[in-house]
Amino acid sequence: MQIVDISLVIWLLMMNLIGIILMKIDKRRARRNEWRISEARLFLIAALGGAIGMWFTSNVIRHKTKKWRFRLGFPLFTICHVALLVHFSM
């Protein structure tokens, strides 16, 4: 792997970890009727590389699964991120 490849993988891992944590926090806040994390912020983290982890977490904890934007957005971002990984690994 080249330096760019390793940097990209580290970036995606960090964004996925942040995304997973934010989804869990937002779910907990939703249950408690507390202040929530904005959808725009969740999508920003997904777009920056956290979509895979957020998509998985969303399905596991059943959070944001009824909203079409998330049902469509997370998989689309995931496809883009996987394509980037494949492109930079060649």
Cα 14 to Cα 34, 37, 67, 74: the distances in Å are 26, 19, 25, 17
Tell me the two tokens of residue 69: 């934007």
Helices (H), 38-67: 39-45, 51-61
Kindly give the confidence (pLDDT) of every residue in the chain, 90 residues in length, as a single tens digit, with 9 standing for 90 and above. 566 678 888 998 999 999 999 999 999 999 999 999 999 999 999 999 999 999 999 999 998 888 889 999 999 999 998 888 788 777
Tell me the two tokens of residue 52: 């895979």
SS3 73: helix
- Report the C-alpha gap between 90 and 1 in whole angstroms: 9
Structure pTM? 0.86
